[in-house]
Amino acid sequence: MRRTAGPLVRLLKCEKGIAALEFALLAPALLALAFSIIVYSIYFTAVIGVRQAAAEGARAAVAGLSSAERVTLARSRAQTVIDNYGSLLGGRALPQITAGPGLTAGTFRVQVSYDMSGSAIMRYGSFVPLPNSNIQASVTVTNGGY
């Protein structure tokens, strides 16, 4: 005579719905990973944009003959680069662009600072640890001459 298994044993041996259960357990982690990749790629794009703006501003300042002309050229070029990045930087804040004599004699320094605290990734990306929302880059070049 054959004995039928109890309801608990049958439940443990049943494999119906295993795929749905695995999906329910793994989907949140995979979605968080995908959104984290998107959030950090936007952040790193902003970091690269600010660094490029500082470098381009310093490169443009080399062409200036006077200190005032260097400051004007550096700020203008750095602002143009920031504007070209457009919405990729995310925040609506204006960049802080400072240009002037460097820390050592015969040098010129361009510093760009951008606040991303108003961007969507800083507001809605709170489920991942986010870096500092204030991005800064500084480049120093020599004034030129021999």
79-89 pLDDT, tens per residue?
999 988 877 77
- Domain regions of the chain by residue span: 17-142
Q: Which residues pair with 142 in a beta bridge?
A: 107
Question: Taking the alpha carbons of 57, 58, 63, 67 in that order, is the dihedral positive or negative?
Answer: positive
The SS3 assignment for 32 reads helix
pLDDT tens for 56-80 read 999 999 888 888 999 999 999 999 9
pLDDT in tens, 6-65: 777 776 777 777 888 888 999 999 998 998 898 888 889 889 999 999 999 999 998 888
Report helix, strand or coil for 63: coil
User: Strand pairing partners for 114?
Assistant: 135
Cα 60 to chain centroid, rounded: 25
